Structure 1
């Protein structure tokens, strides 16, 4: 890959700029530029798209996205140590890379992007789930992005695509499958990263649906799923009793047996309960 883009190998970049990964920032760097290019290709044809990348670090995936033809990349990096390395990439691809030294949880990236927009990132482990939840639950749908291509711990990726009545099924599955088509497209072993994490990783691709599979308010669905799965071993009449004084009656209206457990409820049933609960208020 370095031969294709004319930039130094990532190990040299890390050594030059003293970019040792920080555990406090959830950093695990992917140094194989063939792999970063492969991840970029999972995002689809990028030539007519702006791409948002969170946590680029030394810029391996950034280089992959640009080499694969992304129209424009906005890289948001909290670690100021990486700015010099990312500036070198920006100089190599004039006008196609902007870098923000900022916390992705605290900014609105849309002011820097032009639709259509795709998000592609090796997300820092400590903010990945929070960012995904935000991207899946904006007040209005469709969202500002058309697809998400994200790397997570494999366990998290499996939770995103999980089906009812399985151990992995929970809040992330409901929120992801409500508004997107989600599939795991790559698996990576710990040794692909520096430093190697203690877990395997997976890349998941989520395509935004034109509209949600079932009508529901995002805020209500968030509250219901958090309440239900925080006590997943209990019957839903117990785990969700704090939601409404007549929750069992509302469950009946939504076609839910109060003696069910959260992992037995389908996406359609959760959405039906969300509508029923909103109507009761």
Structure 2
């Protein structure tokens, strides 16, 4: 990659700018430019797309996204130490890299992006799940993005793609699979990062569906799944009793036996229950 884009290797960039990863920022830098290119390719055809990247760090994935033909990359970085490295990439790709120094949970990225938009990021571990839930639960669907290609801890990735009956199946699987096609496209060992995290990582690719798989009010579905999986070992009639005294009748009306547990109920069942609860 260094030979291909004419920019220095990432280890050299990190040494030049003294970018020691900070644990409090959830930083684990991916230094292999072959891997960052592979992640960029997993995001699909980027030609003619704006790409949102959160937590670019020294810019390894940023370089991959630009080399893969992204029309523009908008990089949101919280760590001011990384800005000089991003400025070097911006100079190399004139007019195609915009970066914002700020917290991705607070920045209004829509002011800086034009459709079509894809999101591709090696997310900081400490905010990854929160950002994913926000992107999956906008007020209006379809969302502003076409796809999400995101790095998570392996356990979080497995929760996103989990099926009913598995230990990983829960609220995150419901929210993701209700509105997207989600699949794990790449697994990475700890030694791929600097510093190596204590866990394995995985990249998940989520493609937005034009409409949710089954009709349901988003807020009701979120509420029902949150309460149900908060006490996942209990029967649903007990786990959901805070939602109303007639919960057993509503469960039966949705085609769900009240003695079943949350982890046994497929997405379609939760959507049916959400419709019953909304009546």
- Output the TM-score relative to the length of structure 2: 0.99
1:250 aligns with 2:250: yes
Partner of 1:228: 228
Whole-Å Cα distance in 2 between the matches of residues 30 and 263 of structure 1? 34
Partner of 1:82: 82
Residue 245 of structure 1 and its aligned partner are, at CA, apart by 2.3
SS in 2 for 1:120: strand
Partner of 1:139: 139
Partner of 2:101: 101
1:169 aligns with 2:169: yes
Whole-Å Cα distance in 1 between the matches of residues 43 and 115 of structure 2? 15
Mark the runs of 5 or more structure 2 residues left unpaired by the alignment: none
Whole-Å Cα distance in 2 between the matches of residues 79 and 221 of structure 1? 36
Partner of 2:152: 152
SS in 1 for 2:228: helix
- Output the TM-score relative to the length of structure 1: 0.98
Deviates more, 1:62-71 or 1:10-19: 10-19
Partner of 2:200: 200
Q: Root-mean-square deviation (CA), in Å?
A: 0.7
CA contact (8 A) 1:51 1:72 kept: yes
Partner of 1:122: 122
Partner of 1:218: 218
Partner of 1:56: 56
Whole-Å Cα distance in 1 between the matches of residues 70 and 17 of structure 2? 26
CA contact (8 A) 1:50 1:115 kept: yes
SS in 2 for 1:210: coil
Residue 146 of structure 1 and its aligned partner are, at CA, apart by 0.3
Deviates more, 1:194-203 or 1:240-249: 240-249
Whole-Å Cα distance in 2 between the matches of residues 124 and 243 of structure 1? 35
SS in 1 for 2:276: helix
Partner of 2:275: 275
Whole-Å Cα distance in 1 between the matches of residues 63 and 18 of structure 2? 19
1:20 aligns with 2:3: no
Partner of 1:240: 240
Tell me the number of residue pairs that the alignment of Structure 1 and Structure 2 aligns: 279
Whole-Å Cα distance in 2 between the matches of residues 11 and 64 of structure 1? 16
Residue 91 of structure 1 and its aligned partner are, at CA, apart by 0.9
CA contact (8 A) 1:253 1:276 kept: yes
CA contact (8 A) 1:138 1:218 kept: no
